[in-house]
Amino acid sequence: MTDFDFDLFVIGGGSGGVRAARMSANYGAKVGLAEEFRYGGTCVIRGCVPKKLLVYAASFSQAFADAAGFGWEVGETRFDWSKLRAAKEAEITRLEGVYLGNLESAGVTAFHQHAVVASPHSVRLADGRELSAKHILVATGGVPFVPDIPGRDLAITSNEVFDIERLPERVVIVGGGYIATEFAGIFNGLGSQVTQVYRRDTILRGFDDDVRSHVQQAMRGRGIDILLNQDVAGIEGGAGDLEVHLKSGERRAAGLVLYATGRNPNTAGLGLAEIGVKLGPNGAVAVDAWSQTSVPSIFAVGDVTDRLALTPVAIREGAAFADTVFGANPTKADHALVASAVFSQPEIGTVGMTEAEARASGPIEVYRAVFRPMANILAGRDEQMMMKILVAGDGRPDSRRVLGVHIVGPGAGEMIQLAAIAVKMGATKEDFDRTVAVHPTAAEELVTMRAPVSSRGGLKRRPENPRDQGWPRNPEGC
């Protein structure tokens, strides 16, 4: 007989919290969970799921344009934002119901309200009730960051962008990360004039440099105006009629200004610091490899810990917590070699080290292919696809092991999931080479690149004009 109301109380109904709650309940724990907004968290409600639906919608404009090269005559097209928004809302409402239904079927008691940590073994709900718990799991995710500039209240963030009333003719997006870059492609594909403002010299900081420059060039080729080494001084105007003032003195008119300048862990007002839970400078909950905080009864998973802000990682962390605490199976979440995709246009798939990281670790070989994918040839598009493999060089303990794979182009997210299995297993370049290519596909480039473009920092071989490389590059294989 427990002396607590719950064996586990979870604060936050996103992917990590829900997985931990369900698994813990299935292990026999009595579990409560509080979510103040909607079940499913950022990913399902205002993140990766609705974003991917918008990416699909935006891709039709290119498909319509490309159809003529394949013999189709497409008549006048018209996009209706209100229909897309309604369809998106219906889908996330369905998914929210699935999340809540799964919790309830597992026996989790769900509370639709805000909760804070009152003590190492209790939480306080918005209605004033205080509930005791042997263990508390914080899974409150992150919140968008907007700098303190004049007119900041005139901008929106990724929290609000899915519910705007109408599609603006002109959009200014501030930021250079994956959220800003994805929405630049979405609005551009839906027909808006897009300006992306970034304070550094290349978008997508933290990604491989070849990936960054390739995507940036392709986005400009699609008509997106990317302003680099620029920042916003302030915003003026009213709803739908805004003027963005840049620090350079330049001004841009916009119907909407979207700030995507990063997210911070959502710990403000949760009461964690007051009971001794150690927080990082940006509010992140400090945890060990078991997701345990400085207060032994309190754990945290997902973006609130600022370890690796990806939904599948939060799910793994939540599962590892349940296995460890209630499943008698001590498990640490593995954060190494996690693949990820950016649904920019063109799309990115990446796993492992960037070239800069790989070079810092020792001698490497770089294999790279730049070519027009087959679909672009008849469509008359010049946009290139890029694939890159980083391999540990001779003289290293891990010699010949594939250290990183980076793909830019159609289907990159799907391809990187499968490549990640090989990389995670420790595949060598020779393992890739022994794999028979699937022809005709773009993915076959992953197993047909034979000569490195550079080795140990020196240039070994580089195509004279990568843009002249058509597809297929190996026509005799047909």
- Each domain of the chain, given as residue ranges in start order, spans 6-143+264-325, 152-261, 346-477
Half-sphere exposure of 477 (CA within 13 A, CB side): 13
When pLDDT is averaged across residues 426-432 and rounded to a whole number, the result is 97
Q: Is 80 exceeded by the pLDDT of residue 466?
A: no
* Residue 2 in this model has a pLDDT that exceeds 70: no
> According to the model, what pLDDT value does residue 108 have?
98
Superfamily holding 6-143+264-325: FAD/NAD(P)-binding domain (3.50.50.60)
Q: Tokens in use for 459?
A: 């240039």
**Residue 475: per-residue pLDDT:** 45
Helix axes 81-105, 15-26, angle to 10 degrees: 20
- Which carries the bigger pLDDT value, residue 42 or residue 456? 42
- Fold agreement (152-261, 346-477): no
| Range picked from 35-39, 40-44, 404-408 for highest mean pLDDT | 404-408
pLDDT at 117 over 50: yes
Tell me the pTM. 0.93
* Residue 112 annotated in active site: no
| pLDDT higher than 60, residue 463 | no
Output the CA–CA distances (angstroms, integers) from residue 28 to 298, 318, 327, in the order listed.
19, 16, 9
* Neighbour-count burial for 227-236, b at 16+ CB within 10 Å, e otherwise: beebbbbebe
Does the pLDDT at position 220 exceed 60?
Answer: yes
In this structure, the chain runs to a length of 478
Q: What is the pLDDT of residue 49?
A: 96
Please compute the mean of the pLDDT values over residues 437-466 and round it to a whole number.
Answer: 73
Picking from 34-48, 164-178, 458-472, which range would have the lowest pLDDT averaged per residue? 458-472
| 382 vs 1, more confident | 382
Mean pLDDT of 251-277: 96
Q: What is the pLDDT of residues 12-31, one digit of tens each?
A: 999 999 999 999 999 999 99
Q: How far is CA 472 from CA 63, 311, 377, 468, in A?
A: 21, 36, 10, 12
Residue 101, pLDDT > 50, answer yes
| 11 token code pair | 């604060």
Residue found under tokens 């080479």: 433
Look up the CATH number of domain 346-477. Answer: 3.30.390.30
Question: What pLDDT is recorded for position 461?
Answer: 37
* Dist. CA 289–CA 312, nearest whole Å: 17
Its CATH class, for the domain covering 152-261, is alpha beta
Average pLDDT, whole number, for the chain?
Answer: 94
pLDDT in tens, 139-155: 999 999 999 999 999 99
The reported pLDDT for the residue numbered 454 is 74
Mean per-residue pLDDT for 342-352? 98
**Which residue out of 112, 245, 406, 439 is catalytically annotated?**
439
Q: At 248, list the tokens.
A: 């350079």
* Per-residue pLDDT tens digits for 68-79: 999 999 999 999
Write the single-letter amino acid at 248. Answer: S
Tell me the C-alpha distance between 476 and 194, whole Å: 42
Q: What string of H, E and C letters represents the secondary structure of the chain?
A: CCCCCEEEEEECCCHHHHHHHHHHHHCCCCEEEECCCCCCHHHHHHCHHHHHHHHHHHHHHHHHHHHHHHCCCCCCCCCCHHHHHHHHHHHHHHHHHHHHHHHHHCCCEEECCCEEEEECCEEEECCCCEEEEEEEEECCCEEECCCCCCCHHHCECCCCHHHCCCCCCEEEEECCCHHHHHHHHHHHHHCCEEEEECCCCCCCCCCCHHHHHHHHHHHHHCCCEEECCCCEEEEEEECCEEEEEECCCCEEEECEEEECCCEEECCCCCCCHHHCCCECCCCCECCCCCCECCCCCEEECHHHHCCCCCHHHHHHHHHHHHHHHCCCCCCCCCCCCCCEEECCCCCEEEEECCHHHHHHHCCEEEEEEEECCHHHHHHCCCCCEEEEEEEECCCCCCCCEEEEEEEECCCHHHHHHHHHHHHHCCCEHHHHHHCCCCCCCCCCHHHHCCCCCEECCEECCCCCCHHHCCCCCCHHHC
